Amino acid sequence: MKSKNKLLNSTILVMIAAALTAAPNAGCDGLGNPVILPLGNITAVQLFEQTNYTVALSVESAVLDSSTVASVNWVFGDGGGFVEGPNDRATMTHRYVAPGTYSVTAYIFGSAGYVDSLTTDITVVENDDGEGPTPVPSPEDFPGAISAPLPVDDATDVAVDVEIRWTSGILTDSFDVYFGTDETAVTDATRDSDEFAGNQDKSRYSPENLLPDTDYYWRVDGVNDLGTTKGDVLHFKTARVPAKSKNPAPSTGSTSARIDVELQWTAGNRATSHDVFFGKDLAAVQNATTDDDDVFQGNQTDTLFDPADDDADVEGNLLPDTEYHWRIDEVGNGGTTKGDIWSFRTAPIPPKISMPAPANGATGINVAQILTWVTKPEIEEFDLYLGTDMVDVSVAERGSPQFQSNLAVTTFDPAELLGSTTYFWRVDSIGRGGTTKGDVFSFTTIAPPAQVVGPFTPVDDASNQSVNVQLGWNAGAVPDRRHNSRST
């Protein structure tokens, strides 16, 4: 009989180079899926201390980072069909009913779905003495130590909402996770210690309520049916909280902000994004959280924000002569720093124009008349409307035929007007507080002169006239007025 000690102290690694069926470009598709190595194979280890013909299978050595493997489905090649593997595990144990050579296929899945498959021929052998399982396991049969920890050991500026990840060791069924702020306590911790965070089958762990600028220590032990392999103690330090935002524009206390104002500020040190709060209620803005949809405007990376008020007449603008409050909370790896409350008041609506010329209702206006008016300093520009229908001019907007021009001056030349026609015109005032619709004014142009009438001197087609002839005619509109012209 062959020596049982040989069976107790060694494990037969059965990994025969096999037909690798993975596609040449298998691996990462930019969505976090595992990258399959060019010469990657399924690794098979026969577990002689367990029931005969039990084999541990793994694809961990076939991928660049086994922590990216979401799951592996298996076909063990013994006629048992398709077997779904556990989530976040790149390993699987299977018992064959007899020794022999089997074709094993592993279907590898990443976070975005199926990636590719590997196929390997493995050989299962009889125990040396043929008497079944041996009672004492070899050291190689215990779980392997974890690898590729994230964050890496002694990492700094780690986010307080970090998710710890690692790559499982071979033959690991689950993990005991230990976490705390005392290195010695984490090193010596057992399942009865406060530092024990639980046993789990996933190779990731999200600690809660981490403090900024704090040292943390963690340890992951591999566990299987034979025992536990204690992991190394790893360390990281969380980031400092970001500084407050500053330099608001408009400045707090401003009383003449535009109704289309764009808010700006300077980011605080260590801030990577910004939570924006805005509204008319000071207490609501002061106390708001990101769950308050009526005040919280969203998180953004820009230090510019275009506010709007649903009550404003123009979509996307604010109300005139209204006080608004805003707050910028700075968000970074070290958490969130609540900002100060800043306030401003929008400018009032601009006044209407005055002293229109020609005056309202004026008649006998020259067809070459230039329109003028008087304004106030707070008016920046004007929209002028002109037409022959009072209602049309009254309701006209910039897209209407009656809209003539946007002006920065207080005069407008409408070009030559028609004679004996009543015109209506309106000038809207535009300023920081918005637009004030102007009154509708009217004027009537003078009638065009009548055509001249005879008798004409000299008569039509006259000949032999003196070189000093005097021309004569009669005005059609005013028969008793004669317009004479002499030519020599």
Q: What is the pLDDT of residue 332?
A: 98
Q: Determine, yes or no, domain membership for 190.
A: yes
Q: Determine, yes or no, domain membership for 249.
A: no
Q: Where is the domain boundary, 297, 313, 344?
A: 344
**Is residue 425 domain-shared with residue 459, that is, in the same domain?**
no
Q: Are 330 and 271 in contact (CB under 8 A)?
A: yes
CB environment 60-95: b (16+ within 10 A), e (fewer):
bebbebbbbbbbbbbbbbbeeeeeebeebbbbbbbe
Q: Determine, yes or no, domain membership for 472.
A: yes
**SS3 assignment, position 264:** strand
Whole-angstrom Cα Rg for the chain: 45
Q: Average pLDDT of 45-50? A: 84
Q: What is the pLDDT of residue 131?
A: 58
**Is residue 123 domain-shared with residue 22, that is, in the same domain?**
yes
> Is the per-residue pLDDT at 1 higher than 50?
no
Q: Where is the domain boundary, 141, 168, 200?
A: 141
Q: Determine, yes or no, domain membership for 274.
A: yes
**Is residue 333 domain-shared with residue 401, that is, in the same domain?**
no
pTM, rounded to two decimals: 0.65
Q: What is the pLDDT of residues 312-343, one digit of tens each?
A: 999 999 999 999 999 999 999 999 999 999 99
Q: How many residues can be counted in the chain?
A: 488
Q: What is the pLDDT of residue 132?
A: 53
**Is residue 394 domain-shared with residue 281, that is, in the same domain?**
no
Q: What is the pLDDT of residue 307?
A: 98
**Structural domain of 284:** 270-344
Q: What is the pLDDT of residues 113-171, one digit of tens each?
A: 898 999 999 998 887 655 555 445 667 788 999 999 999 999 999 999 999 999 999 99
Q: What is the pLDDT of residues 389-412, one digit of tens each?
A: 999 999 999 999 999 999 999 999
Q: Determine, yes or no, domain membership for 373.
A: yes
**Is residue 461 domain-shared with residue 435, that is, in the same domain?**
no
Q: Average pLDDT of 54-72? A: 89
Q: Determine, yes or no, domain membership for 384.
A: yes
Q: The sheet that has 113-124: what strands, in order across it?
A: 82-84, 71-75, 100-110, 113-124
**CATH code at position 334:** 2.60.40
CA pair distance 15, 20, nearest whole angstrom: 13
List all residues 6 or more positions away from 371 whose beta carbon is below 8 Å from its beta carbon. Answer: 356, 357, 358, 384, 386, 411, 412, 413, 414, 425
Q: Where is the domain boundary, 214, 238, 262?
A: 238
Q: What is the pLDDT of residues 88-106, one digit of tens each?
A: 888 999 988 888 999 999 9
> Is the per-residue pLDDT at 480 higher than 60?
no
Q: Pick from 205, 206, 92, 218: which is nearest to 152 by CA?
A: 218
**Is residue 124 domain-shared with residue 8, that is, in the same domain?**
yes
Q: Determine, yes or no, domain membership for 254.
A: no
**Is residue 37 domain-shared with residue 124, that is, in the same domain?**
yes
Q: Determine, yes or no, domain membership for 257.
A: no
Give how many domains the chain has, as a whole number. Answer: 5
CA pair distance 285, 279, nearest whole angstrom: 6
CA pair distance 417, 471, nearest whole angstrom: 32
**Is residue 364 domain-shared with residue 385, that is, in the same domain?**
yes
483: confidence class by pLDDT, cuts 50, 70, 90: very low
**CATH code at position 131:** 2.60.40.10
